[in-house]
């Protein structure tokens, strides 16, 4: 069964600092990988996704993530954080076309990001 681990429950950074949120997954093959963000009172918004190809993917709001097969990781990064980035971030995995559960997303615990001015 697929699983996702986000080791950091809560991260605090200063505005303008760089950010890296960690995500590790467990899956038998290369899955589809996603990062979602949730601001208070909002739904889950897709930041970026990895399906295949270039292992460095760009997303919205200046975020990027790198898929590392050898480490089973898909860490999210941003070079300079803005106060508006404060939110909860979720990493998720979905089985690829060869899997049997190709519809459902499996989420990590989430990482709450606090941004200090």
Partner 1 sequence: EPEVTQTPSHQVTQMGQEVILRCVPISNHLYFYWYRQILGQKVEFLVSFYNNEISEKSEIFDDQFSVERPDGSNFTLKIRSTKLEDSAMYFCASSSGTSGDIQYFGAGTRLSVL
* Interface contacts to partner 1, rule CB under 8 A: 32, 34, 36, 41-46, 49, 51, 90, 92, 94, 96-97, 101-110
- Nearest approach in angstroms of CB 80 to partner 1 is 26
- Nearest approach in angstroms of CB 39 to partner 1 is 10
Distance (Å, whole) CA 81 – CA 52:
27
Do 104 and 94 touch, CB atoms closer than 8 A? yes
Strands 111-116 and 56-58: unpaired
- Nearest approach in angstroms of CB 94 to partner 1 is 8
Nearer to partner 1, 73 or 96 (CB): 96
The dihedrals phi and psi of 71, each to the nearest 5 degrees, come to -105, 0
């Amino acid at each position: 069964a697929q699983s996702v681990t986000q080791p950091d429950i809560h991260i605090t950074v200063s505005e303008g600092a760089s950010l890296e949120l960690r995500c590790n997954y467990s899956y038998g093959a290369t899955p589809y990988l996603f990062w979602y963000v949730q601001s208070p009172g909002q739904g889950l918004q897709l930041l970026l996704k990895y399906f295949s190809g270039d292992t460095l993917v760009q997303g919205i709001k200046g975020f990027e993530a790198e898929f590392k097969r050898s480490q089973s990781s898909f860490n999210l990064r941003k070079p300079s954080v803005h106060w508006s980035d404060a939110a909860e971030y979720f990493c998720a995995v979905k089985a690829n076309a060869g899997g049997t559960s190709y519809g459902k997303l499996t989420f990590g615990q989430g990482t709450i990001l606090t941004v200090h001015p």
